[in-house]
Structure 1
């Protein structure tokens, strides 16, 4: 399976199963599109007729290009066969170990964001703060069930986890005290709205957290429209200086400023660039997931402009890289040379198997987006997984278990998409949320183009010839 597209002056051809990406001239682009279903002599005749008025294209050029395509196919770089179907069946039967927990330490929040999937941090339940005893047991559960995994990830999440600040510090200290005994390494991530950031918090997070996610939607008028305090006041002016100070002190450690775009700001590239212009260089912007009846919900009519925005963003990133003020966009971080192993490409994020969410009272869910849905309550940190049949559903959910994914060129980049989004959109873990798929495919196209541009400029800088 191949995918061809044109973007920013490049003719790009992706071979799905080998992962090979080719930048070709117009003639090769046309021939590749015909190659699999058209005899060579017919291709020659068609190309000669189409380019009869172009003296730069001869029959010899056409035949040489066909030969080049044939060589790429023989080398396993074009039109490769799918060798992973059987592997997807093996993955369903594999034994999995937990390597990451999302600790919902606070089912409460000091903001009242209208689009919050967690119902302002309460997850449609009671407000709660995780006790140290629950947090301690959660760490023990992870250690006991981590198997061969050496690096263990723990995400502090909410609600707003800074509202459980004391227990966060206690959990981190306890986990660190167990690293040598179990020969494990904990990597902590923290997501915050910034309202309670201060010097003490900043110093601790910068010392202990592998990554920190800072929530900011972009321009003041965009951010304040939906991210308000409980009194209805916008939070932009309060958090911005705190985020800037935090990132300045963080140095070269990982962080992301993460925003959400909605129907209100389909021109979200302006928000991304606004954040970049404020001095932040690691950015993410996610489409809102919400009830389609909400006034800020994205619609099918928004898709053309969403596509346009992602292209604008890609071109602006290239421009800023050339100008010496680059920034990273999370969804354009595509490794074309290595990338995730094939097992990861098929099975995805590992929700429900290698990744679990823990509520303040120790209940286990497949991930934070399932918290509160009792049908997907899988057990607890004392008894472990008590509903193995639910876990089996997640083992079996991948890009080969979903009929809509069979002919999708991007399936090994999304692994079949987010199970929670699929469930909420279709009622099935094996469904697909078409709107999200459309956006994902566009992001992959743009990220590939950015990487292609980077590679070509690097070759030119080193005096290498760029062969099409």
Structure 2
């Protein structure tokens, strides 16, 4: 790297502050390289260069390469300093005033490698969760079920749009998807027959409230290697607060019973619980303990509600901070267990560690619109499952395919970080502006970044960096054993 990068000895050197973030982990100083989401431990010469260039905020010192070398020459050789400067300039952590590489070179999207289709198989649901965001949700008797023809045409559309993908994922969603189990079985049979015949692979995923499960269904799901997630909010008092039947009765007793049966009999893939945190519910540690230790879920993930359509359920600022504080408290338990090579199945931290380990760089917040679209019962293409029934424009339909121009314009608006707080934010390539649906619900504009808990997210990422660095220093095998295999699930 250093041999390919020359230094202009007359140019003033400056730190590119929006490309680096320094983190202290015990006695170690780390550099989080923001453009690549990569983490480096600072050696003495690198720390010396950065500290000198950063200096006192009121300092009038201007450093050129020769001046910097002379300043640091008591502790390092000229060659060490010059080599380090070249490396930092190649990383664009140090600049001599030359134009910087545009971090997101593409300002428009014209390729859509669609490999996931979400089938909204029934708008009907046998529950009436008070905080539900689904705008097309119906009572069971009024549910609009997707037809077999619509489902297959959706999958054929995906295959036609992205013929070069090797693996496709079919997601069954609702309402409660198991309320249209006959369709799901027919679609799975078709996919397992037709997609391998084209030299491709297919996987199936479902999120369920678990109330309709029985042993026969669990056996069938296992036979077809479903990836499963159960919506469950914690112990009885917490769960029954909002996850109720259409008649207003709590559902914990039936859900916990069905979940235990599922977890006892399903061994194909790890099963996770998805927890929705609303106003008045912040006990992350207690909820995790119940779902992980008492019920036996492999992972537990938390989704704080901050921009729901019914503002009453949104976590106020003080409770949202408490949620993040409690997530860090659980993260401390996770770290202690990881150093003993035990996995506590905390999905939120799992995902952050995965992104840090892989140097994950996201130009967009998720695969919605790019790799994934959701089909409603009419056959319209929605940005994701959260938007079916909403007033956000759809992006084509299964008869005519994806409206590439409209979808590309939408995604390009989010790609453009100019004049946004994301342009210089240190977690810009991990957060990428946040959830489209949160933006739509809060601002009425799905392309606008979410700003209302940026400081909490930055603090959470700093915590994750600390945890990751300590695991890599003291038990790196944990990453290989528990983090990397998640990509295969």
TM-score category of the 2 structures, normalised to the smaller one: 0.7 to 0.9
Whether the aligned pair in 2 keeps the contact of 1:10 and 1:449 (CA below 8 Å) is no
User: CA 1:10–1:329 in structure 2 vs 1: closer, same or farther (change >3 Å)?
Assistant: farther
User: CA 1:179–1:120 in structure 2 vs 1: closer, same or farther (change >3 Å)?
Assistant: closer
Name the SS of the counterpart of 1:397 in structure 2: helix
- Aligned counterpart for 2:87 among listed residues 47, 53, 75: 75
* 2:21 matched residue in structure 1: 3
Residue 87 in 1 paired to residue 99 in 2?
no
Question: What whole-Å deviation, never above 9, does each CA across 1:75-130 have from its counterpart, x for those lacking one?
Answer: 346826763435232xx14322321111100101111111110158349xx63111
Aligned positions of 1:15-26 closer than 5 A: 15-22=33-40
User: CA 1:38–1:169 in structure 2 vs 1: closer, same or farther (change >3 Å)?
Assistant: same
Whether the aligned pair in 1 keeps the contact of 2:119 and 2:173 (CA below 8 Å) is yes
User: CA 1:248–1:232 in structure 2 vs 1: closer, same or farther (change >3 Å)?
Assistant: same
CA distance in 2, matches of 1:294, 1:163: 29
Name the SS of the counterpart of 1:326 in structure 2: coil
* 1:102 matched residue in structure 2: 118
Residue 450 in 1 paired to residue 467 in 2?
yes
Whether the aligned pair in 1 keeps the contact of 2:135 and 2:389 (CA below 8 Å) is no
* 1:338 matched residue in structure 2: 358
Gaps of 5+ in 2: 1-18, 62-70, 479-489
Question: TM-score, with normalisation over the residues of structure 2?
Answer: 0.79
User: CA 1:29–1:113 in structure 2 vs 1: closer, same or farther (change >3 Å)?
Assistant: farther
Aligned positions of 1:187-202 closer than 5 A: 187-202=203-218
User: CA 1:181–1:32 in structure 2 vs 1: closer, same or farther (change >3 Å)?
Assistant: same
Question: TM-score, with normalisation over the residues of structure 1?
Answer: 0.82
* 2:483 matched residue in structure 1: none
Whether the aligned pair in 1 keeps the contact of 2:309 and 2:441 (CA below 8 Å) is no
CA distance in 2, matches of 1:378, 1:160: 24
Deviation of 1:163 after TM superposition, in Å, equals: 0.5
* 2:373 matched residue in structure 1: 356
Q: Which moved more, 1:233-242 or 1:3-12?
A: 3-12
Deviation of 1:319 after TM superposition, in Å, equals: 2.2
User: CA 1:88–1:347 in structure 2 vs 1: closer, same or farther (change >3 Å)?
Assistant: farther
Q: Which moved more, 1:95-104 or 1:430-439?
A: 430-439
Whether the aligned pair in 1 keeps the contact of 2:122 and 2:377 (CA below 8 Å) is yes
Name the SS of the counterpart of 2:196 in structure 1: helix
CA distance in 2, matches of 1:248, 1:65: 63
- Aligned counterpart for 2:269 among listed residues 253, 258, 280: 253
- Aligned counterpart for 2:433 among listed residues 407, 410, 416: 416
Deviation of 1:222 after TM superposition, in Å, equals: 0.9
- Aligned counterpart for 1:36 among listed residues 53, 66, 83: 53
Query: What is the number of equivalent residue pairs in this alignment?
Result: 439
- Aligned counterpart for 1:306 among listed residues 313, 323, 331: 323
Deviation of 1:171 after TM superposition, in Å, equals: 0.7
Name the SS of the counterpart of 1:187 in structure 2: strand
* 2:451 matched residue in structure 1: 434
CA distance in 2, matches of 1:69, 1:418: 43
CA distance in 2, matches of 1:201, 1:140: 26
Cα RMSD for the two superposed structures: 3.5
Whether the aligned pair in 1 keeps the contact of 2:339 and 2:474 (CA below 8 Å) is no
- Aligned counterpart for 1:229 among listed residues 245, 250, 253: 245
Name the SS of the counterpart of 1:269 in structure 2: helix
Question: What whole-Å deviation, never above 9, does each CA across 1:185-211 have from its counterpart, x for those lacking one?
Answer: 112110000000111211122222441
Deviation of 1:244 after TM superposition, in Å, equals: 2.3
- Aligned counterpart for 2:421 among listed residues 369, 394, 404: 404
Deviation of 1:290 after TM superposition, in Å, equals: 4.1
CA distance in 1, matches of 2:163, 2:271: 28
* 2:223 matched residue in structure 1: 207
Residue 366 in 1 paired to residue 383 in 2?
yes
Name the SS of the counterpart of 2:202 in structure 1: strand
